[in-house]
């Protein structure tokens, strides 16, 4: 019985094992079938996906956005910076070291020169430092910190809109806005460096110190360069303080007359001072007719903007110049980006149009000086700048050498420089008889049919926002403007600015200087509307660089941008002349120091004041000292010691030596008389101005 049971158990286990094995085999078969089905399905799906991709259109290349341009520029700058750091740290020190040449101060000290006449330095526009005394909440922590010049400019990046607000003046008064006080940084530190490592007056100050100059006989006449010249006296008593300082230096230095050294716009600021100081109060300083003859030995004008600069035109008209125009061409839309919300040009224009000082730099003398639609004093001048000669000229009396300049400025394609603004290249070259008449009086600002910026744009940033589209288009309309019609144009597009500024400045030519109206301060900074002081022993120098392409006139176009608060005009950087032409990137170039054309810097010393004229009745001696530009041969030389560029010339050893010799007692004849490399004499002869 037990064996039977054992047999049945064995049969049961065996059958169970068999069933299990059969079930497992059937499961494996099913699994293989499922896998095959999945493979087939996946293959079918893959084929369908390929067909879908084939049927889909090819993806279009991504459009280049202004944000991409911005990132590209930042990447480029960063890469350049790291490469410079790499070379600086990896190259041998002997290759990086620039051989130091003894400056004029060291050499002249060896010759026995010592400080004799007190020296007063007068900075120009932009280069003087400005500091905060009172401001809005956004400027907390910046009390007596520099907002402009001499610092690191970190505040520009930290709070740019706050900075622009504090640097702007009141649009109607040209003085401080409510709750904001920004003042000039006093002393030599106010304008020795514009930024760390970027000198302005520092090299000249250092060389003067070598022969004995210091605080008692060297002074920086700091002033707020944003204001009109008379307003620097009304608000800050800057002219009174300058008068007192000169009188003190005259007495404390053994009754030695002062040598004044103004630069750029500081030249016409000091010209205003010379007239103010002798005018009776309350308008003037009350020094009397003989004050200048008693206190001033010489006025050595560096980069003088006597007759204005075309750069001021483009700055007020479209907030740009050649450099800005080139950047705009390289990265279009970056500065006007709606995505980034920059609108840089509009914000800069909004600020700059509150500065009356820029209006002081508009071209003076009209078509008589700057030319009309079909002629100009520079006619026959063409710029083959690639062939400029940089050989050094020796200092000789009445040294007039034009041969090298002619090699550098070969005439090839005549330019109508008298047309300071032309809309379109044809308007800059066609004869005036083929162009429509530019008369801003025919335009109407009262048209409200279609404003350039509609009411949804909110507050007007510039006076362009108050113009109609039709008025904006009429301004362009293939027209060209001379320096005479330009003033009418600016009065039309910016009437409030011009009304405010023209209460302080004038840009014409006086017919009768004995007319009592010319006793008003608005005429004092224009050498063509005021007389020099009765100081026959005083000397006036015009000292400037030549041989650098300098902006002279512009080709404009209507801006393609029509959004709110945009500037409707811009320089047409796509316009170029032929090879060797003066027209490049929408700008016509002439000879100058990169900022001031030779015509503006040299005419008064070459003709307007030369000898006894109605502008110089006492016959004050005038001298032209031109310095041909020679750029540094490598980056290691910095900005060079023979530069003729508008600011870099302050480190020009030849110019520094001339100033030091005059300060030590030399006369204009003793330092070599005239030194001329440009065509300023020929230009002056072409100007028909009654003297």
Residue 98 has a pLDDT of 41
Residue 536 has a pLDDT of 97
Q: For 662-680, write each residue's pLDDT tens digit.
A: 999 999 999 999 999 999 9
In DSSP terms, which residues pair with 550 in a beta bridge? 590
List the catalytic residue out of 168, 228, 264, 376.
Answer: 264
pTM score, whole prediction: 0.83
- Judge whether 537 counts as a catalytic residue: no
DSSP string, 182-213: EEEPPSGGGTSEEETTEESSHHHHHHHHHTT-
Q: For 76-92, write each residue's pLDDT tens digit.
A: 666 775 666 555 455 44
Of the listed ranges 47-61, 193-207, 429-443, the least confidently predicted one is 47-61
Helix (H, G, I), strand (E, B) or coil at 614: coil
Mean pLDDT of the chain: 82
Q: For 222-236, write each residue's pLDDT tens digit.
A: 999 999 999 999 999
pLDDT of 339 above 50: no
Alpha carbons 399 and 677: distance in angstroms, whole number: 8
DSSP string, 285-320: ----TTHHHHHEEEEEEES--TT--HHHHHHHHHS-
> Which of the given ranges, 98-112, 404-418, 511-525, has the highest pLDDT on average?
511-525
Give CA angle at 190 (184, 193), nearest 5°: 135
Residue 347 has a pLDDT of 85
Helix (H, G, I), strand (E, B) or coil at 132: strand
- Of the pLDDT bands very low, low, confident and very high (cuts 50, 70, 90), residue 28 is very low
Token pair listed for 313:
């035109």
271 near 263, Cβ under 8 Å? no
- List the chain domain ranges: 130-184
- Cα torsion 591, 596, 602, 608 to 10°: value is 130
Of the listed ranges 205-214, 332-341, 504-513, 586-595, the least confidently predicted one is 332-341
Residue 632 has a pLDDT of 85
Residue 277 has a pLDDT of 98
- Of the pLDDT bands very low, low, confident and very high (cuts 50, 70, 90), residue 466 is confident
Nearest Cα residue to 687 out of 552, 528, 540: 528
- Of the pLDDT bands very low, low, confident and very high (cuts 50, 70, 90), residue 120 is very high
Q: For 620-649, write each residue's pLDDT tens digit.
A: 999 999 999 998 877 666 788 999 999 999
- Judge whether 264 counts as a catalytic residue: yes
- Judge whether 646 counts as a catalytic residue: yes
- Of the pLDDT bands very low, low, confident and very high (cuts 50, 70, 90), residue 416 is confident
pLDDT of 129 above 90: yes
Helix 229-236 to helix 265-278 angle (10° resolution) is: 60
Q: How far apart are the first and last CA of the chain?
A: 155
List the catalytic residue out of 593, 648, 658, 679.
Answer: 593
Alpha carbons 489 and 484: distance in angstroms, whole number: 9
Q: Between residues 528 and 403, which one has the greater pLDDT?
A: 528
Residue 102 has a pLDDT of 78
Of the listed ranges 284-298, 558-572, 660-674, the least confidently predicted one is 558-572
pLDDT of 237 above 90: yes
- Of the pLDDT bands very low, low, confident and very high (cuts 50, 70, 90), residue 393 is very low
pLDDT cut 70: percent of the chain above it? 73
Residue 398 has a pLDDT of 46
Helix (H, G, I), strand (E, B) or coil at 262: strand
List the catalytic residue out of 572, 646, 658, 684.
Answer: 646
DSSP string, 392-426: PPP--TTEE--HHHHHHS---S---TT-SEEESHH
pLDDT cut 90: percent of the chain above it? 61
């Amino acid at each position: 019985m037990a064996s039977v049971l054992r047999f049945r158990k064995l049969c049961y286990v065996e059958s169970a094992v068999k069933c299990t094995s059969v079930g497992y085999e059937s499961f494996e078969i099913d699994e293989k079938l499922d896998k095959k089905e999945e493979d087939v399905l996946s293959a079918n799906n893959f084929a369908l996906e390929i067909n879908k991709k084939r049927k889909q259109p090819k993806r279009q290349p991504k459009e280049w956005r202004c944000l991409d341009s911005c990132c590209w520029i930042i990447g480029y700058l960063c890469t350049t910076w790291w490469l410079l750091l790499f070379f600086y740290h990896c190259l041998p020190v002997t290759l990086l070291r620039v051989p130091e040449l003894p400056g004029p101060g060291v050499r002249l000290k060896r010759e026995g020169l010592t400080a004799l006449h007190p020296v007063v330095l007068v900075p120009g526009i932009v280069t003087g430092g400005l500091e905060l005394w009172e401001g809005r909440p956004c400027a907390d922590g910046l009390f007596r910190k520099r907002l402009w010049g001499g610092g690191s400019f970190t505040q520009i990046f930290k709070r740019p809109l706050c900075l622009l607000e504090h640097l702007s003046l009141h649009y109607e008064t040209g003085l401080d806005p409510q709750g904001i006080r920004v003042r000039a940084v006093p002393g030599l530190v106010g304008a020795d460096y514009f930024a760390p490592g970027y000198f302005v007056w520092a090299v000249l100050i250092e060389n003067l110190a070598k022969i004995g100059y210091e605080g008692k006989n060297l002074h920086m006449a700091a002033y707020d360069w944003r204001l009109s010249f008379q307003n620097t006296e009304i608000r800050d008593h800057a002219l009174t303080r300058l008068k007192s300082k000169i009188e003190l230096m005259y007495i404390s230095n053994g009754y030695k007359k002062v040598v004044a050294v103004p630069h750029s716009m500081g030249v016409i600021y000091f010209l205003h001072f010379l007239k103010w100081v002798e005018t009776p109060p309350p308008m003037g300083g009350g020094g009397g007719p003989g004050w200048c003859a008693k206190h001033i030995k010489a006025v050595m004008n560096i980069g003088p903007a006597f007759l204005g600069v075309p750069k001021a035109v483009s700055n007020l008209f479209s907030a740009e110049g050649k450099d800005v125009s080139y950047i705009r061409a390289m990265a279009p839309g970056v500065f006007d980006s709606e995505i980034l919300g920059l609108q840089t040009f509009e914000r800069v224009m909004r600020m700059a149009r509150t500065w009356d000082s820029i209006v002081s730099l508009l071209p003076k003398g009209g078509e008589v000086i700057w030319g009309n639609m079909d002629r100009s004093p520079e006619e026959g001048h063409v710029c083959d700048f690639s062939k400029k000669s940089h050989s050094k000229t020796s200092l000789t009396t009445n040294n007039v050498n034009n041969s090298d300049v002619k090699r550098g400025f070969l005439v090839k394609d005549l330019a109508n420089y008298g047309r300071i603004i032309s809309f379109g290249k044809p308007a800059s070259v066609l004869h005036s008889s083929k162009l429509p008449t530019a008369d801003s009086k025919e335009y109407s600002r009262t048209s409200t049919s279609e404003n350039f910026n509609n009411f949804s744009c909110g507050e007007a940033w510039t006076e362009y926002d108050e113009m109609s589209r039709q008025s904006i288009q009429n301004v362009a309309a293939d027209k060209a403007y001379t320096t005479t019609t330009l003033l009418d144009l600016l009065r039309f597009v910016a009437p409030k600015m011009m009304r405010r500024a023209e209460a302080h400045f004038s840009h014409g030519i006086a017919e009768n200087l004995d007319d009592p109206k010319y006793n008003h301060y608005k005429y004092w900074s224009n050498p063509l509307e005021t007389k020099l002081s009765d100081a026959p022993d005083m000397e006036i120098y015009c000292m400037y660089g030549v041989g650098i392409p300098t902006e002279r006139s512009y080709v404009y176009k209507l801006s393609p941008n029509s959004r709110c608060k945009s500037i409707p005009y811009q320089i047409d950087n796509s316009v170029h002349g032929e090879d060797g032409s003066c027209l490049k990137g929408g700008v016509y170039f002439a000879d100058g120091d990169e900022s001031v054309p030779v015509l503006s810097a040299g005419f008064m010393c070459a003709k307007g004041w030369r000898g006894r004229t109605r502008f110089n009745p006492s016959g004050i001696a005038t001298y032209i000292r031109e310095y041909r530009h020679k750029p540094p041969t490598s980056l290691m030389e910095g900005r060079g010691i023979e530069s003729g560029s508008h600011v870099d010339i302050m480190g020009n050893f030849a110019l520094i030596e001339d100033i030091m010799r005059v300060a030590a007692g030399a006369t204009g004849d003793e330092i070599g008389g005239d030194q001329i490399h440009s065509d300023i004499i020929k230009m002056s002869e072409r100007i028909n101005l009654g003297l």
